[in-house]
Amino acid sequence: MKAGQTVVSASLEDYLEAIYHIVGAKGAARAKDIALAMDVKNASVTQALRSLAEKKLVNYAPYEVITLTGAGEVIARDVVNRHQTLERFLIDVLGLPDDEADEGACRLEHAISKPILERLLKFMEYFQTCPMSDIRWDNEAGFFCGGGADVEERESCGRDICGHGGILERKAMKLGEGE
């Protein structure tokens, strides 16, 4: 963390993220909107909003609309970016169902470091643009590559060990080494 940056807990990041989404949908947020979105009590929202206002991350006054300050929006966008990146990874690469991926992304978004997130973003760019990006999670076999269901029909993008029977060839080579 850089000097002068505001320290925000995972809980407060969740509030900023909720406010960001509500403001995006409605133009401004009210405490009751936040309570509904986060499934928390109004008293919890009030306490969080006071804390965020003290940190100058939200514009808040009781019974008034709530908006993000410039600094609050920067943090909120960062949290949203982390969440979306992690959620896409969990769905597209690991094959998790949407609801499970969303819940997992919520937990992971607070713990992932910027360098790891940047690498994950680069991986997702590669994954989405590689002409052989049909890598998917299979619960029984794990990852697999392919251009077809039959191992012999699969092509290699040159960056993997699968394709053209690569996995089977490696197993055969290992078996041959043992003789």
pLDDT score at 114: 84
Q: What is the CA radius of gyration of the chain?
A: 22
The answer for 98, left when phi > 0, alpha when psi is -120 to 50, beta otherwise, is alpha
**pTM of the prediction?**
0.71
Question: Which tens digit of pLDDT belongs to each residue from 17-52?
Answer: 999 999 999 988 999 999 999 999 999 999 999 999
Question: Which tens digit of pLDDT belongs to each residue from 69-124?
Answer: 999 999 999 999 999 989 988 988 888 899 999 999 988 988 888 899 889 888 88
Domains and CATH numbers, the chain: 10-74 (1.10.10.10), 81-129 (1.10.60.10), 136-177 (no CATH)
Q: State how far the Cα of 144 lies from the Cα of 158, in Å rounded to an integer.
A: 14
Instruction: Give the mean pLDDT of the chain.
Output: 80
**Which amino acid is located at 148 in the chain?**
G
- Going by the DSSP 8-state scheme, the letter that residue 156 receives in this structure is -
